[in-house]
Structure 1
Amino acid sequence: MTHRISRRSVLAGGAALLSYAAFAPRAFSEEARLRLLWWGSQTRADRTNKVSELFKAANPGVSINGEFLGWSDYWPRLATQVAGGNAPDIIQMDYRYIVEYARRGALAPLDSYLGSVLKVEDFDQVQIKGGSVDGKLYGISLGANSTAMMVNTVAFEEAGVDLPTPATTWDELARMGIEITKAGTRKGYYGLSDGSGVEPLLENWLRQRGKALFTADGKIAYDANDGAEWFAMWQKMRDDKACVPADIQALDQFNIETSPLSLGKAATSYAHSNQLVGYQAINKDKIVLRSHALIGKDAKGGHYRKPSMFFSVSAKSSDPELGAKYVNFFVKDPDAAKVLGVERGVPESASVRDALAPSLDDLGRAALEYVSGLGALAGELPPPPPSGAGEAELALRRVAEQVAFGQLDAKQGGETLVDEVTQILSRG
């Protein structure tokens, strides 16, 4: 049985481990072991477990100890294990952190396995590049996704409010939020979650303004005025009751289970498209994907197709080739793909996508169609975020909460955010 590691377990240093056999095409005279660490919901854990059962049936002689946590607990856990020389063999890695971990020497370069162990010739090469740092490959994309708004269709319908469209502006979305809140069809319910501390949402808004989170050389790419406008927009939505108040938003630990949508406090949430599967699994009302609002009717969208996450191999792994073979099975085996669906994103392999398409359920098709149907709303993949980007994200969350609780006004919030992020990035 797979176990989620709770925040208490992380702080205590404890871990619940899953042992099961895994993939290896060669026979082993002695049991070979791999450790796997990932973030995600129970739904993701169940699918990962099922794929690992396929490894067990086909490849005796290898065992895997698997651990999973929520997003907020995952990164402290990984940092602790890496610092302690006890990193897992297979690390689920994010685009935001891959530069930092690669340059720290925590990840093994995978270039020598290309073409032999890693059969990724039919991958979108932009996504392959996304897993590369300083000319070396450190991560294999498990799928493509894009940021999205999760929308509770039943709550919108009950309030008599039409669903957002790709042409919906932020002003229009705020009015929708106000209407849902005022409708009062659900007690203590609001139209929107507060997205002021959601970095991908801020990035989308900045990209529409011709800006970005970071420059190509790893510096902050927006200024205090941008930050002030962002926080002021959300302050107005809180004042107008378009979105949840600060005390409700503070319950969000940035995972599916604690989002205002899943807690029954708001009709929307902000996540990545592949998370539709997880959201629907714990919400009885129908959830759909919608693109983010536009800053104006003539604005260009701020989306892009992002590597949803990578599998990387630890530089400390005792058998990096076995790790690479495990990764290859995960992203290339058709039966594995049918189990995984699009929960980790739309598969990068063209052959796997073709094999998977007929077996997708409605949720899987919706996620695939969302990513492939963004059209003009999607632009180029930005460079991988610099070292310190993860800490910069935490700074945004912290400052956004301070503004929401009235400890800072919007102008002060913009200045504080830019000062903190600048200092973080200067440390390299």
Structure 2
Amino acid sequence: MKASPFRRVAVGAVASCSLVLTACSGGSTGAAPELGDKPVTIRATWWGADARAQLTNEVIAAFEKKYPNIKVKGEYKDWAGYWDALATTTAAKDSPDVIQMDELYLASYADRGALYDLGKAKKLVNTSQFDDQALATGQVDGTQYALPVGIGVMSVAVNTDLFKKYGVKLPDDKTWTWDDYARIGKELTDKSGGKIHGVAGAPGFDAGSLKYWARQQGNELFGKDGNVSLKAESLAGMWKYGLGLISSGASVKASTMVEDQTAGITAGSFATGKAAMMGAYNTQITALQEATGAKLKLLQLPRVGDTKANFFKPSMYWAVSGQSEHPAEAAAFVNFVLNDAKAADILKTERGIPANKEMLKHLQGGLTGPDKAAADYMNTVTPGESPVVTPNGGSGIEPQLQRYSQEVYFKKTSPEAAAKAFIKELQGEIDAAK
């Protein structure tokens, strides 16, 4: 996971793919792919550090042992360099056969025929152990272009040591409201004498918090037609709530939020024990636990009524290139990584809590500490319908949202004016990509 609901984890600049991909061709034409027995070499690409590469190469070795006629050449880069390289190779019609994909760019690549329709590879890729809502996160216009590797759901991470130290009672997360969240945050700040803040930040620094907030109001960020369906009053209301957190002292200041954004999840206010609550995806608890050294607990987010505002957030996907000359072999590799117990034993939760229910069950008995807490929390949440995948042209939503959130929280722009401007700018980007 890269982003927490209430503040953005800094991951570097991301290249814009839309212009580079305009010339792409290829796609999922032809009959269902079938495996052959002739020697074949395919390329698989992913983003991540050396530790991920080592584990992925172990999976590749296990796959090649099972399929001795298929060789897999692995390629990896950091987040920013990855998207530059993928856009360039795809435009040159030389993209890797197997692609690690992110939700922000799924529609951008799918709309240009750069991804293979996995529905044509049903005999090679088993999806029976994936929740329907998890599968929906990898669909564009009803076509399955990608399969989620891991999934997460939104939560509030709390430092129970700080709650205990300052004599503040943990809330009942089955009934608490946003007013409760603000009140408890202020109580923590006040009882600590300002040594800590109750809340690590205000909402609006990533698309996840915006989606959750809008869904509570019966609204959605994007409509099924791929356009922005977010109501300006929903966004303005979220920012007004955030301003209240800051002005009351419940939350850290706007300047601290910006510093935390740059510092990243393992060095921000929550990670360093300067705040007691933080919006986070459940899978981020491992990194937070290591950073704080404190006893953490995951709580369900405050809610409005009975609306199922939470949703599955894919950590990332595996997809097959629409330009691949070996879609059957590429699909077989995707199937192995997602459905084979040997691959699960190697990767465990490195790419998130497995979206494959059978593989999660296979691993769950051996999960301990924060990994177990993340999996257990997932079982307590009933997510609603999966949000519409970020449409082509909308991949720049988070930098845009962060910019407007900073303007609001530094009181340079009113919530109402910023909401209208943000929606207009985002819709303009989507229109330009059509």
TM-score by length of 1: 0.81
CA distance in structure 2 between the aligned counterparts of 1:42 and 1:186, rounded to whole angstroms: 40
Give the C-alpha shift of residue 48 in structure 1.
3.8
Q: Is the 8 A contact 2:106 2:389 kept in 1?
A: yes
> Residue 414 of structure 2 aligns with which residue?
409
Do the aligned partners of residues 287 and 343 (structure 1) sit closer, same or farther apart at CA in structure 2, a change above 3 Å counting? farther
Which amino acid in the other structure matches residue 78 of structure 2? L
Cα distance in 1, alignment partners of residues 65 and 130 from structure 2: 27
Identity of aligned residues (%): 28
Q: Of 96, 111, 117, which residue of structure 2 is paired with 1:103?
A: 111
Structure 2 residue matching 1:92: 3-state secondary structure: strand
Shift of 1:54: 4.0
Structure 2 counterpart of 1:113, from 117, 121, 124: 121
* Gap runs ≥5 in structure 2: 1-10, 16-34
Q: How does 1:47-66 map to 2 (within 5 A)?
A: 47-48=55-56, 50-52=58-60, 54-55=62-63, 62-66=71-75
- Corresponding residue for 2:289? 280
- Residue 90 (str. 1) matches residue 95 (str. 2): no
The equivalent residue for 1:206 is: 214
Shift in Å, 1:236:
1.4
Q: How does 1:137-156 map to 2 (within 5 A)?
A: 137-156=144-163
Report if the CA contact (8 A) 1:275-1:343 is conserved: no
Residue 216 of structure 1: aligned partner: 224
Q: How does 1:24-423 map to 2 (within 5 A)?
A: 32-38=41-47, 47-48=55-56, 50-52=58-60, 54-55=62-63, 62-70=71-79, 75=83, 78-83=86-91, 87-115=95-123, 117-164=124-171, 165-184=173-192, 187=195, 191-251=199-259, 252-253=261-262, 256-257=265-266, 259-295=268-304, 298-375=305-382, 378-423=383-428
User: Superposition RMSD on alpha carbons, in Å?
Assistant: 3.3
Give the SS at the match of 2:298: strand
Asked if the contact 2:236–2:415 (Cα under 8 Å) also holds between the matched residues in 1, the reply is yes
Find the aligned partners of 1:42 and 1:327 in 2 and give their Cα distance: 21
Query: CA 1:87 to 1:189, structure 2 compared with 1: closer, same or farther past 3 Å?
Result: farther
Q: Residue 203 of structure 2: SS of its match in structure 1?
A: coil
What is the CA-CA distance between 1:176 and the residue it aligns to?
1.9
Aligned pair in 2 of structure 1 residues 412, 317: CA closer, same or farther (>3 Å)? same
Determine if contact 2:133/2:312 at 8 Å carries over to the other structure. Answer: no
Could you tell me whether the CA contact under 8 Å between 2:105 and 2:392 is conserved in 1?
A: yes
**Which structure has the higher relative contact order (CA within 8 Å, separation 6+)?**
2
Whole-Å separation in 2 of the counterparts to 1:385 and 1:408: 26
Question: CA offsets per residue over residues 307-332 of structure 1, 9 Å max, x none?
Answer: 44311122334543332222111111
Q: Distance in 1 between matches of 2:180 and 2:209?
A: 17
Q: For residue 251 of structure 2, give the secondary structure of its aligned residue in structure 1.
A: coil
1:228 CA drift (Å): 1.6
* Secondary structure of residue in 2 paired with 1:35: strand
- Say which SS state the counterpart of residue 292 (structure 1) adopts: coil
Conserved in 1, the CA contact under 8 Å of 2:202 and 2:243? no
Using the TM superposition, give the Cα deviation of residue 47 of structure 1 relative to its aligned residue in structure 2, in angstroms. Answer: 4.7
Sort the Cα spacing of 1:388 and 1:266 in 2 relative to 1 into closer, same or farther, 3 A: farther
Q: What is the alpha-carbon distance in structure 2 between the residues aligned to residue 47 and residue 190 of structure 1?
A: 38
Contact 1:342 1:367 in 2 (8 A): no
Gaps of 5+ in 1: 1-5, 11-24
Secondary structure class of the residue paired with 2:103: coil
* Secondary structure in 2 matching 1:369: helix
Higher alpha-carbon deviation: 178-187 or 119-128: 178-187
Does structure 1 conserve the Cα–Cα contact (< 8 Å) formed by 2:45 and 2:99? yes
Asked whether the equivalents of residues 204 and 301 of structure 1 are also in contact (C-alpha less than 8 Å), the reply is no
Distance 1:50 1:290, change over 3 A: farther
TM-score by length of 2: 0.80
How many residue pairs match? The answer is 402
User: For residues 319 and 299 of structure 1, do their structure 2 counterparts lie closer, same or farther at Cα, with a shift above 3 Å needed?
Assistant: same
1:383–1:108 CA distance, 2 compared to 1 (3 A): same
Shift of 1:237: 1.0
Q: Is the 8 A contact 2:207 2:398 kept in 1?
A: yes
Offset of 1:198 from its aligned partner?
A: 2.3
Q: 1:350: Cα distance to partner? A: 3.9
SS in 2 for 1:379: coil
Shift of residue 380, structure 1, vs aligned partner: 1.7
Distance change in 2, residues 1:235/1:7 (3 Å)? closer
**1:232 Cα offset (Å):** 1.1
Counterparts in 2 of 1:43 and 1:280: CA distance versus 1, 3 Å:
farther
